[in-house]
Amino acid sequence: MKPENLLIESADPGIRIVKIARPKALNALNTQTLQELKEVLSAEAANPETRVLVLTGDGEKAFIAGADIAEMKDMSTSQGVQFAQLGHEVTKLLELMPKPTIAAVNGYALGGGTELAISCDFIVASDKAVFGQPEVALGIIPGFGATLRLSKFVGLPRAKELIFSGRKLKADEAKALGLVNHVYPVAEFHEKALGLAREIALQSHSAVAKAKDLLNEFSESTGLNFKLDAEAQAFGRLFGSPDQREGMSAFVEKRKAAFQGLARG
Ligand code: COA
């Protein structure tokens, strides 16, 4: 069935562009969009015509503004676990498919947006891109793999700082930290990202696939499923907590969250 929240484009032979297109929610990932991504990425993983996959957001404002907060607001623990597990299926497809995946981050990449980007092999960004893991401001933790993958890009202390503070990073800062390989002015961004994809698509597909497999294997992805499952369980257990209810209600009601237990003076 044709996806409702994705656009699939073929730029050059061998290059497939998957665009998240849910403009009303700044491309936020609801269950339907994650299901569509799972189907499309599974098909592309097996498609011999696709040599390089580029993941991007439709429009100029957002890559993905995170998991859908309105949908998550009333989730139970088991629904939270299932939601994280679906996110993990998508991120594993990006990380493990036997062909390069490039995140072309064109705007907000928050929460699940940064998490899908760091599941790709590398990230290129427009100078309008904004990254971050703001989950703690919602009373939850990252649930689509950042507790495992962010430190591979930026190192453990920086991953801790970013996840504990929820601070947003502009493209240049993200590049300085090693999160992003290249930052391009927005006017040239799509062409530059495609240029990189073309360069890779011209190489031996089987050699590139083998290199990806080994680079993943050697960069300590042992225990991937066990670690992601631990994250999904911890993510789910926060659902129904006072801070999760307050954090997400505050976002939906467009006000600041007032978390428990913090004496303000
Ligand atoms: N989930 C659900 N809806 C979202 C969303 C998300 N993660 N991010 C944005 N939206 C929706 C907003 O609710 C708003 O909908 P409305 O027009 O029906 O009110 C619409 O997208 C536009 O967002 P808005 O906040 O008005 O745009 P902005 O330019 O003022 O701010 C952001 C942009 C990205 C800074 C802000 O939307 C934001 O902080 N989003 C949440 C980011 C986040 O915490 N992600 C992690 C989730 S785990």
pLDDT, tens digit, for every residue of 153-186?
999 999 999 999 999 999 999 999 999 999 999 9
Other Cβ atoms within 10 Å of 2 Cβ, number: 6
Confirm or reject: Cβ of 40 under 6 Å from ligand 1: no
Strand 122-126 to 108-110 pairing: unpaired
Residue 193 lies in a domain: no
Q: In whole angstroms, what is the distance from residue 259 CA to residue 245 CA?
A: 10
| 173 belongs to the catalytic site | no
| Both tokens assigned to 102 | 């490039």
**d(CA 46, ligand 1 centre) in Å:** 34
Q: Which domain holds residue 100?
A: 1-186+203-265
Model pTM score: 0.97
Quick one: pLDDT at residue 146? Answer: 98
Give the model's confidence band at 10: pLDDT under 50 very low, under 70 low, under 90 confident, else very high.
very high
Confirm or reject: Cβ of 72 under 6 Å from ligand 1: no
Residue 19 lies in a domain: yes
Collapsed DSSP state (helix, strand, coil) of residue 20: strand
| Both tokens assigned to 127 | 């100078």
Confirm or reject: Cβ of 75 under 6 Å from ligand 1: no
Closest ligand 1 atom number to CA of residue 111: 46
Determine the average pLDDT of the residues in 33-38: 98
Quick one: pLDDT at residue 262? Answer: 61
Residue 197 lies in a domain: no
Residue 37 lies in a domain: yes
| 161 belongs to the catalytic site | no
Asked if 156 and 249 touch (Cβ cutoff 8 Å), the reply is no
Residue 209 lies in a domain: yes
Closest ligand 1 atom number to CA of residue 26: 21
**d(CA 83, ligand 1 centre) in Å:** 19
| Both tokens assigned to 255 | 């006000």
Catalytically annotated residue among 36, 44, 95, 115:
115
Domain with residue 120: its CATH number is 3.90.226.10
Tell me the residue ranges of DSSP E strands in the chain.
6-10, 15-20, 52-57, 62-64, 101-105, 108-110, 122-126, 130-132, 169-170, 182-184
Other Cβ atoms within 10 Å of 253 Cβ, number: 9
Catalytically annotated residue among 95, 135, 161, 220:
135
Number of domains in the chain: 1
Residue 195 lies in a domain: no
Please write the tens of the pLDDT for every residue from 207-247: 999 999 999 989 876 789 999 999 999 999 999 999 999 99
Burial 204-234 (b: 16+ CB within 10 A, else e): ebeebeeebeeeeeeeebeebeebbeebbeb
Q: Is the pLDDT of residue 265 over 80?
A: no
